[in-house]
Amino acid sequence: MSEDVSTRVRILDAAETLFARNGFDATATSAVASLAAVPKGLLFYYFPAKADLLRALVGERMDPAIEFESVVEHGNPIRSLLNFASRLREVQRDSEVLRVIIWREERTHPEVGASLGEHRRHLQDAVERVLQQSLGKAIPAARVRAAARAWVAVLADRSVADRAASQAPDAERSMTFLTEVAELICDGLQHANPSPAG
């Protein structure tokens, strides 16, 4: 990693930590520079305004990389959806951007809200692919898309996400709830009346 890239990454890591801990508005750029161990002038060289730090974090660190092969179980869409949810939780647990910052800042910073919408669209596309690969038969694309939207809406619900990330018994209740929803979604997909793909 080049010195420029390393410095930029250190600054973003520091900003992520402090924005998650204190919030964007309560974090001074001098605190970010101090934690990153760089002069404040160098921080402004990479990020001319504090909002640029937030934009970079949300733009660069938001979409989780989930390998489809690791979550898809062919012929078992329920298990595939649950695997996806589990993998997403792991990624979110490791990312303060996904776990804390976007939820705190989405209403006060329009670019965060816009990025969150884009993030949800990426997740929906990913869930569509997981469903298409795990289903044992052809299902109309519009139904798969609707199922993906429903699953992402459930995963994006903060109360579900928070319970799933916590310790038992809340995590166990959340897992039971997710399993029931996955069963409902997949049952609806597999027993739907055939209609033209769309």
For the segment 91-105, what is each residue's pLDDT rounded down to a tens digit? 777 777 766 777 777
Residue 156 to residue 123: CA distance in whole angstroms: 10
Given 61, 89, 107, the domain boundary residue is: 61
Check whether residue 94 and residue 180 sit in a common domain: yes
Residue 91 in contact with residue 71, Cβ under 8 Å?
no
How do residues 122-165 score in pLDDT, each as one tens digit? 889 999 999 999 997 889 999 999 999 999 999 887 666 555 55
Same structural domain, 148 and 103: yes
Specify whether 171 is located in the same domain as 85: yes
Domain annotation covers residue 31: yes
Q: What are the pLDDT digits (tens) for 43-92?
A: 999 999 998 998 888 878 776 677 778 899 999 999 999 999 988 888 77
* Containing structural domain, residue 57: 3-61
pTM, 2 dp: 0.73
On whether both 52 and 91 belong to a single domain, the answer is no
Average pLDDT on 188-195 reads: 69
* Residue 169, preceding peptide bond in cis (omega within 30° of 0): yes
Q: Both 54 and 74 in a single domain?
A: no
Q: Is residue 197 part of a domain?
A: no
> DSSP characters for 65-95?
---HHHH--TT-HHHHHHHHHHHHHHHHHH-
